[in-house]
């Protein structure tokens, strides 16, 4: 990175956040909360062995939310001066005066706030120079292009290193924050044969650069994934078992989380309304949430409101054990926050023990989905319809690539038809899971 250190210390951010709270209370706010943050990073992209972009980013900001009773106002600034902080607080107060009262508005309950500042090993700055990043990107792209002579073009390889830190404070007296880092390497290439062109990619991301996959491996996988898609065909329309490869399987868990999140529930816009304690997935499925995973991409000792996070079993043998709530949505539902303001923390879907090869064998003949297209998911009804690409599997063996098809079903039924979750666990973002086999779905292709 151009400047590998933060411009402000953690204590400075905490002092600024505390100052904002003081200003808000002095100007009449009944309650207030503030977050002060700073981030910096570097991204290098190489395409066809030439440097395409070198990007630097460095930003900072203050966000303040004030309450006048049950009225709420929010404002933000990127200026850390005393005058700017005062002006931002005043802007938030002016907004609050013109908003309607909301009985559910307010800070999180003081008794639920985190009392321990845990070190979850989230900050590992990467001392990578531009020249080193270019070299890594070149090696990654070169490995991808060397896979096969049919790889004729490239969308490039990128190496990115990002770091940030923040401080959150509220008028209950809570103050906390920590630094974190996130690094990634990616490659995308194009394969061509007899007029057919296909692209695919691969990437790796981690808190610590030592946890990234090797650059040559990332490139090789991207190249192999592109080449294997050449010669794609359509399938005959029908019902088939469907195996979601690990990189796309996590999207299904994303739909589950969206359906059991507070906003969808209190708006009555979820296909999983009033399902707490009920069977919502096949009995083979158990999902844990672990906010305390060291170096986890979704780890945090507290949520966006300062509420202490908790490790929990979210789904136990298919039975829903809890919702995903922040304070506002919890109050709307007459419940208590689950420490998920801002989202979930490291969801881990337990494997049923099968390897990817064993999942193919278990499926027998059916569709392996490696890419999903479009956004055909109705969260109110659970109806699911998305474009897809992948491979036809015959007798447990990948037979040929498949494209220009649509897979359809209903998420409630799909969740209940989960037959296995592989041990080929892929760690990307805040979800960790392997490939997922569903017993039957409608596949639309050739008539």
Note the pLDDT tens digit of each residue in 302-360: 999 999 999 999 999 999 999 999 999 999 999 999 999 999 999 999 999 999 999 99
Q: Could you say which DSSP state residue 110 is in?
A: G
Read off the pLDDT band of 445 (50, 70, 90). Answer: confident
Task: Tell me if 302 sits within 8 A of 309, measured CB to CB.
Answer: yes
Read off the pLDDT band of 245 (50, 70, 90). Answer: very high
Cα angle, residue 51 at apex, residues 47 and 55 outer, rounded to 5°: 110
Q: Is the pLDDT of residue 367 over 70?
A: yes
* Interval 372-409: pLDDT, tens: 998 889 999 999 999 999 999 999 999 999 999 999 99
Distance, CA of 190 to CA of 204 (rounded, Å): 19
What confidence score (pLDDT) does residue 2 get?
40
Which is nearest to 327 in space by CA: 33, 23, 16, 40? 33
What confidence score (pLDDT) does residue 5 get?
84
Give the domains, in start order, of the chain with CATH numbers: 10-227 (3.30.2290.10), 238-251+351-444 (no CATH)
What confidence score (pLDDT) does residue 4 get?
58
Percent of residues, the chain, with pLDDT higher than 90: 95
Q: Is the pLDDT of residue 3 over 70?
A: no
Question: Please, which residues bridge with residue 181 across strands?
Answer: 163
What confidence score (pLDDT) does residue 168 get?
98
Q: Could you say which DSSP state residue 302 is in?
A: B
What confidence score (pLDDT) does residue 135 get?
98
Which is nearest to 312 in space by CA: 297, 302, 304, 323? 323
* Interval 180-209: pLDDT, tens: 999 999 999 999 998 899 999 999 999 999
Task: Tell me if 88 sits within 8 A of 32, measured CB to CB.
Answer: no
In three-state secondary structure terms, 56 is: strand
Q: Is the pLDDT of residue 361 over 90?
A: yes
Task: Please tell me the pTM assigned to this model.
Answer: 0.93
* Interval 248-299: pLDDT, tens: 999 999 999 999 999 999 999 999 999 999 999 999 999 999 999 999 999 9
Mean predicted lDDT score pLDDT of the chain: 96
Percent of residues, the chain, with pLDDT higher than 70: 99
Q: Is the pLDDT of residue 447 over 90?
A: no
Distance, CA of 143 to CA of 146 (rounded, Å): 5
Read off the pLDDT band of 173 (50, 70, 90). Answer: very high
Question: Please, which residues bridge with residue 427 across strands?
Answer: 432
């Amino acid at each position: 990175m151009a400047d590998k250190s933060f411009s402000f210390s953690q204590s400075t951010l905490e002092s600024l956040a505390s100052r904002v709270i003081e200003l808000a209370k002095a100007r009449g706010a009944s309650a207030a909360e503030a977050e002060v943050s700073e981030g910096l990073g570097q991204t290098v992209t190489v395409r066809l062995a030439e440097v395409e972009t070198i990007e630097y980013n460095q930003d900072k900001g203050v966000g303040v939310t004030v309450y006048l009773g049950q009225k709420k106002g929010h404002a933000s600034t990127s200026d850390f001066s005393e005058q700017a902080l005062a002006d931002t607080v005043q802007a938030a107060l002016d907004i609050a005066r013109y908003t309607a009262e909301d009985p559910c508005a307010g800070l999180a309950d003081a008794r639920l706030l985190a009392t321990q500042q845990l070190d979850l090993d989230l900050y590992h700055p990467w001392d990578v120079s531009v020249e080193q990043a270019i070299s890594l990107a070149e090696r990654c792209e070169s490995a991808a292009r060397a896979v096969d002579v049919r790889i004729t073009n490239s969308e490039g390889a990128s190496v990115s290193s990002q770091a940030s830190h923040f401080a959150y404070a509220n008028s209950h007296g809570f103050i906390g924050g920590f630094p974190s880092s996130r690094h990634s390497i990616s490659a995308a290439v194009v394969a061509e044969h007899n007029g057919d062109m296909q692209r695919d990619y691969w990437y790796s991301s981690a808190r610590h650069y030592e946890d990234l996959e090797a650059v040559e491996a990332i490139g090789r996988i991207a190249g192999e994934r592109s080449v294997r898609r050449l010669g794609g065909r359509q399938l005959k329309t029908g019902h088939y078992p469907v195996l979601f490869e690990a990189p796309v399987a996590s999207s299904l868990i994303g739909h589950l989380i969206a359906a059991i999140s507070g906003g969808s529930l209190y708006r009555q816009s979820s296909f999983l309304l009033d399902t707490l304690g009920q069977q919502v997935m096949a009995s083979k499925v158990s999902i844990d949430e672990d906010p305390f995973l060291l170096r986890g991409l979704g780890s945090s000792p507290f949520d966006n409101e300062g509420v202490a996070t908790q490790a929990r079993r979210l789904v136990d043998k298919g039975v829903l054990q809890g919702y995903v709530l922040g304070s506002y949505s919890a109050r709307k539902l007459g419940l208590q926050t689950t420490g998920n303001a801002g989202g979930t923390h490291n969801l881990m879907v337990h494997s049923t023990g099968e390897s990817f090869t064993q999942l193919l064998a278990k499926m027998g003949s059916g569709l392996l989905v490696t890419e999903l297209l479009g956004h055909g998911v109705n969260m109110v009804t659970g109806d699911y319809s998305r474009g897809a690409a992948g491979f036809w599997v015959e007798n447990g063996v990948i037979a040929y690539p498949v494209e220009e098809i649509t897979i359809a079903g209903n998420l409630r039924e799909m969740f209940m038809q989960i037959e296995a979750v592989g041990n080929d666990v892929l760690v990307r973002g805040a979800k960790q899971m392997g490939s997922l086999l569903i017993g039957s779905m409608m596949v639309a292709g050739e008539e």
